[in-house]
DNA sequence: TTTAAGAATGATAGCATTTATCATCAAAGG
DNA sequence: CCTTTGATGATAAATGCTATCATTCTTAAA
């Protein structure tokens, strides 16, 4: 579950491009979206390589894996902890510029005895765009 | 995606037992765990019926669907919003008795313009039990 | 620069969870 | 009792991801 047992991590062109693609967007893309983008630069890349490297990058602390809903993961090229807003109309996942409060973790430790090392906070509702456009149901991409 | 188009929801023995089982535990079980439990009372119940009704119950506001990680969903028989602690050692999901702060949603609306209708907060770390037992890796159930 | 070790890749098969299908059953209302 | 139609059980299928493996490529030592 941690890094490989005896091996080390080699630098590959594939992982480089994958990280490049991941950092080029704020859309918190799925593995398949990354796959399609990477294929534009490396037509022969394998989907398995995408999954493999997204996992490796996450373990290396270069990316975050998000999972809203149970069907698929999204990935985040910004590895620093931050909060997200998930629009229930258009499906977009938006970074929030509000401070990460470690005070919450202390509160949990004090009140419950469970020692939190991290926390995750997400908001669900209507994003700014979907409030003005009164479409009943957005595109969801 | 919402309730069925023209129909209505009938009362069935299956859904009754499923909700009963879901309310009988605080372990935030998976669909398969619910399935095994319901089978003890209704040996011929179908797994499809479990999934179908867990979805229906969630839509009815009688349960919550949680998704930590991307492999499977957990369900919560307590439909009121509350926060969870996920132990990274033993895998258990624990209800937290700390107040739900709607102030966070107001802060998001003020600072970002995105109108949050709900939010979700999870903590990750070592639960109380796993701190005292210095096992390197718990049972994960 | 060559060489050897083994990590990473591409291709593909496999797996686990969830959803769709459909004939049959049964809840609700008259 | 009878009709309507939502719900069920059994099963197939879809989805998202992981495992496998022969081959390729990275790395560091010779
Ligand atoms: Zn939106
Ligand atoms: Zn983000
Ligand atoms: Zn624990
Ligand atoms: Zn709970």
d(CA A34, CA A21): 7
By the 10 Å C-beta count (0-12 exposed, 13-18 middle, 19+ buried), B132 is classed as exposed
What is the DSSP code (8-state) at residue B90?
A: T
d(CA B13, CA B19): 10
* Ordered mean pLDDT values, 10 residues apiece, chain A (141 residues): 59 98 97 98 98 97 88 95 94 95 95 96 96 61 41
State the average pLDDT over residues B19-44.
98
pLDDT per residue as tens digits for the range B92-126: 999 999 999 999 999 999 999 999 999 999 999 99
**Contact call for residues A122 and A74 (beta carbons, < 8 A):** no
Residue B121 in contact with partner chain A when CB distance is under 8 A? yes
Residue B94 in contact with partner chain A when CB distance is under 8 A? yes
**Contact call for residues B68 and A95 (beta carbons, < 8 A):** no
Tokens 């040996």, residue located: B43
Residue A95 in contact with partner chain B when CB distance is under 8 A? no
**Contact call for residues B103 and A101 (beta carbons, < 8 A):** no
d(CA A48, CA B59): 35
Residue of B nearest to A104 (CA): B123
State the ligand closest to the CA atom of A22.
Answer: 2
Size (chain A), residues: 141
d(CA B128, CA B122): 16
Tokens 């990058």, residue located: A57
CB atoms inside a 10 Å sphere around CB B123:
27
d(CA A100, CA A119): 9
CA B78 – ligand 4 centroid, Å = 6
Q: CA nearest B69: which of A58, A82, A87?
A: A58
Interface touch B112/A98, C-beta < 8 Å: yes
Between A65-74, B32-41, B71-80, B130-139, the lowest mean confidence (pLDDT) is in: B130-139
Q: Rg of chain A's alpha carbons, rounded to an integer?
A: 18
Q: In this model, does residue B134 exceed pLDDT 80?
A: no
């Amino acid at each position: 579950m941690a890094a490989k047992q005896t091996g080390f991590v080699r630098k590959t062109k594939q992982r480089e491009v994958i990280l490049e693609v991941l950092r080029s967007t704020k859309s918190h893309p799925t593995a398949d979206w990354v796959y399609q983008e990477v294929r534009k630069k490396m037509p022969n890349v394998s989907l398995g390589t995408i999954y493999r490297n997204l996992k490796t990058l996450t373990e290396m602390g270069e990316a975050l894996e998000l999972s809203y809903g149970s069907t698929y993961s999204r990935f985040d090229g910004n590895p620093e902890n931050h909060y997200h807003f998930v629009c229930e109309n258009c499906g977009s996942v938006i970074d929030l510029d509000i401070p990460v409060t470690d005070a919450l973790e202390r509160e949990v430790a004090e009140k419950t005895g469970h020692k939190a090392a991290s926390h995750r906070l997400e908001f669900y509702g209507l994003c700014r765009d979907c409030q003005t456009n009164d479409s009943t149901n957005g595109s969801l991409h």
